[in-house]
Chain A
Amino acid sequence: MTLLRVENLTVRYGAIVALKDVNFEVREGEIVTFVGSNGAGKTTTMRSLSGLVKPAGGSITFKGQSLGTLASHRIVQLGLAQSPEGRLVFPDLSVKENLMLGAFSRRASHQQLANELESVFQLFPRLKERLAQDAHTLSGGEQQMLAIGRALMAKPSLLLLDEPSLGIAPLLVQQIFQKILELNRKDGMTVLLAEQNARMALRIAHRAYVLEVGEVVQQGNAAELLNDEKLQKAYLGG
Chain B
Amino acid sequence: MFELLQYIADGLAVGSVYALIALGYSMVFGVLQLVNFAHGELFMIGAYFVMYAISLGLPWPAALVAGMCFVGFFAVIMERLCYKPLRGAGKLAPLITAVGLSLLLQNLVQATIGPNPQSYPAKLPDGILSKLFGWMQKDPNTFTLPQLPEGLFDYGDLVIRHRDVLIFFVAVGVTAGLELFLRKSRPGRGIRALALQPNAARLVGVPFNFTISLTFFIGAALAVAAGLLQGMADNQVTPFMGISSGLKAFAAAVLGGIGVIPGALVGGLVLGIAERLLVGYDLSTFKDGAAFFILIVVLLLRPQGLLGKARMVKV
Report the nearest A residue to B198, measured CB to CB. Answer: A88
Residues of A within 8 A of B204 (CB): 76, 81, 101-105, 150, 154
Q: What class of interface size applies to chain B in its complex with A?
A: 20 to 34
> Is B193 touching A90 in the complex (CB atoms < 8 A)?
yes
Residues facing B in A70-88 (CB within 8 A) are: 71-73, 76-77, 81-82, 84, 88
Residues of A within 8 A of B312 (CB): 92
Report the nearest A residue to B311, measured CB to CB. Answer: A91
Task: Tell me, yes or no, whether A93 is within 8 Å of chain B by CB.
Answer: yes
**Chain B CB within 10 A, most for which of A72, A105, A106:** A72
Residues of B within 8 A of A81 (CB): 203-204
- Cα distance, A92 to B14, chains bound together (Å): 32
- Residue-wise interface mask of B (173-206) relative to A, using a CB-CB cutoff of 8 A (1 in contact, 0 not): 0000000000000100110010011011111111
Main secondary structure of the interface of B (DSSP, over half): helix
- Residue-wise interface mask of A (47-79) relative to B, using a CB-CB cutoff of 8 A (1 in contact, 0 not): 000111000000000000000000111001100
- Cα distance, A88 to B312, chains bound together (Å): 14
* Nearest chain B CB to A102 CB, angstrom units: 5
Task: Tell me, yes or no, whether A128 is within 8 Å of chain B by CB.
Answer: no
Residues of A within 8 A of B202 (CB): 50-52, 72-73
Report the nearest A residue to B190, measured CB to CB. Answer: A104
Q: How many residues of A contact B (CB 8 A)?
A: 27
* Nearest chain B CB to A53 CB, angstrom units: 11
* Nearest chain A CB to B210 CB, angstrom units: 8
- Cα distance, A105 to B37, chains bound together (Å): 33
> Is A82 touching B207 in the complex (CB atoms < 8 A)?
no
- Cα distance, A136 to B310, chains bound together (Å): 13
Residues of B within 8 A of A4 (CB): none
- Cα distance, A136 to B200, chains bound together (Å): 14
Report the nearest B residue to A100, measured CB to CB. Answer: B189
> Is A76 touching B197 in the complex (CB atoms < 8 A)?
no
Task: Tell me, yes or no, whether A226 is within 8 Å of chain B by CB.
Answer: no
Residues of B within 8 A of A154 (CB): 204-205
Residues of B within 8 A of A127 (CB): none
- Residue-wise interface mask of A (146-184) relative to B, using a CB-CB cutoff of 8 A (1 in contact, 0 not): 000011001000000000000000000000000000000
Residues of A within 8 A of B200 (CB): 84, 88-90, 150
Task: Tell me, yes or no, whether B309 is within 8 Å of chain A by CB.
Answer: yes
> Is A88 touching B309 in the complex (CB atoms < 8 A)?
no
Report the nearest A residue to B209, measured CB to CB. Answer: A71
> Is A104 touching B309 in the complex (CB atoms < 8 A)?
no
User: Contacts A101-B189, A136-B311: A92 and B205 contacting too (C-beta < 8 A)?
Assistant: no
> Is B206 touching A88 in the complex (CB atoms < 8 A)?
no
Residues of A within 8 A of B209 (CB): 71
> Is B205 touching A104 in the complex (CB atoms < 8 A)?
yes
- Cα distance, A51 to B196, chains bound together (Å): 19
Report the nearest A residue to B193, measured CB to CB. Answer: A101
- Residue-wise interface mask of A (33-50) relative to B, using a CB-CB cutoff of 8 A (1 in contact, 0 not): 000000000000000001
- Cα distance, A82 to B200, chains bound together (Å): 9
> Is A72 touching B196 in the complex (CB atoms < 8 A)?
no
> Is A93 touching B205 in the complex (CB atoms < 8 A)?
no
- Cα distance, A29 to B205, chains bound together (Å): 24
- Cα distance, A102 to B208, chains bound together (Å): 15
Residues of A within 8 A of B197 (CB): 88-91
> Is A73 touching B207 in the complex (CB atoms < 8 A)?
yes
> Is B193 touching A76 in the complex (CB atoms < 8 A)?
no
Residues of A within 8 A of B311 (CB): 91-92, 136
> Is A72 touching B203 in the complex (CB atoms < 8 A)?
yes
Residues of B within 8 A of A73 (CB): 202, 205-208
- Cα distance, A122 to B204, chains bound together (Å): 21
* Nearest chain B CB to A82 CB, angstrom units: 5
Closest 10 CB pairs of A and B: A105-B205, A76-B205, A88-B200, A73-B205, A72-B202, A73-B207, A90-B196, A104-B204, A104-B205, A82-B203
Extra contacts besides A72-B203, A91-B196 (4): CB < 8 Å: A76-B203, A90-B201, A93-B196, A105-B204
27 contacts between A and B (CB under 8 A): A50-B203, A52-B199, A52-B202, A72-B205, A73-B208, A76-B204, A81-B204, A82-B203, A88-B200, A88-B203, A90-B193, A90-B196, A90-B200, A90-B201, A92-B196, A93-B196, A101-B189, A101-B204, A102-B204, A103-B204, A104-B186, A104-B193, A104-B204, A104-B205, A105-B204, A151-B203, A154-B204
Binding site for A on B (CB under 8 A): 186, 189-190, 193, 196-197, 199-209, 309, 311-312
